[in-house]
Amino acid sequence: MSDPHDRRYVLTLGCRDRPGIIAGISSFIAEFGGSIVEAGYHSDPDTGWFFTRQAIAAATVPFGLAELRDRFAAVAADFGTETDWQVHDSGARRRAVLLVSRDGHCLHDLLGRAGSGELPATVEAVIGNHPDLGEMASAHGVKFHHVPFPKDPAERGPAFEQVRALVDEHDPHAVVLARFMQVLPASLCEHWAGRAINIHHSFLPSFVGARPYHQAFARGVKLIGATCHYVTAELDAGPIIEQDVSRIDHADDVRDMVRQGRDIERVVLARGLRWHLEGRVLVHGRRTVVFS
């Protein structure tokens, strides 16, 4: 059997459900002797939608990525015009750009994972609206850009344009708001749709917006959380990729929550980002299918 960690072609597909889709795809793969090392399927009775992710050992595919795509297009054509599918090569390293502000815990964590090879992406650049984290990026050998943001939100347009230009230069598979603390304008949400990923420091939909740990303290909750989600124009309302929580008690004040929360934020972001980069996340409306 192939090692599932070896290079593989990853097929993801979403389409209107009907009998025969799994048979169609698996017969197509079996025909050329492809070995499926991971297979996830999901039928959603509420939406009538079907989702799958299949990883085929690259060594068992007797042609290249382009031809695999061409051949599969003919199969997918049978599944209806709304069908959305992709094939990517796990051996082609992916690119990420990170947007940060002053809190460095998520940045430091992602740079560490990138350095050890755990994150399936190279960090192409780090962009900060403050200069504070420049040294951290540099120490990890990553280029840092400081783009100052005016105090007045109404005047931030040019700064966002500069960020956009710096990001787009790398055509990244992921634009990560690693505690960026700035609300993206709708045009950028649209532009990076499906690629911009945020970590919000609450268990959404609780405590949307600013200072969620202060809100959590005031409400007296017994667990705090973090949420990794795709960025959409509506604040903190995009499709959720991953969430987790941590127990607190009455002795924990806001500073304790902030400290404890960092441990959840780091892990939730890293997990969500990895799944995104490995093509494990399929979005449908406001919900995600995650073949973790």
Residues between 51 and 70 with contacts to a copy of itself, criterion CB under 8 A: 51, 60
CA distance 191 to 231: 11
Q: Is 265 in the site for a copy of itself (CB under 8 A)?
A: no
User: In what order do the strands lie in the sheet containing 144-146?
Assistant: 144-146, 121-128, 94-100, 174-177, 196-200, 223-230, 240-247
Given 93, 146, 211, 222, the residue binding a copy of itself (CB under 8 A): 222
| Region 184-213 residues binding a copy of itself, contact defined as CB under 8 A | 203-207
Q: Is 23 in the site for a copy of itself (CB under 8 A)?
A: yes
State the maximum Cα–Cα separation within the chain, in Å, rounded to a whole number.
62
Given 7, 22, 65, 130, the residue binding a copy of itself (CB under 8 A): 22
Q: Is 3 in the site for a copy of itself (CB under 8 A)?
A: yes
Q: What phi, psi does 78 have (nearest 5°)? A: -75, -15
Q: What phi, psi does 249 have (nearest 5°)? A: -140, -175
78 is catalytic: no
Give min distance, CB of 268 to a copy of itself, in A.
Answer: 9
Question: What is the residue type of 14?
Answer: G
| Region 102-121 residues binding a copy of itself, contact defined as CB under 8 A | 104-105, 108-109, 112, 115-116, 118
Residue among 151 and 250 whose Cβ is closer to a copy of itself: 250
Give min distance, CB of 123 to a copy of itself, in A.
Answer: 14
Question: What is the residue type of 8?
Answer: R
Question: What is the residue type of 274?
Answer: R
User: To 5 degrees, how large is the angle CA 169–CA 90–CA 88?
Assistant: 70
Per-residue mark of binding to a copy of itself, 119-158 (x: CB under 8 A)? -----------------x--xx------------------
Length of the chain in terms of residues written: 292
Write out the catalytic residue numbers.
236
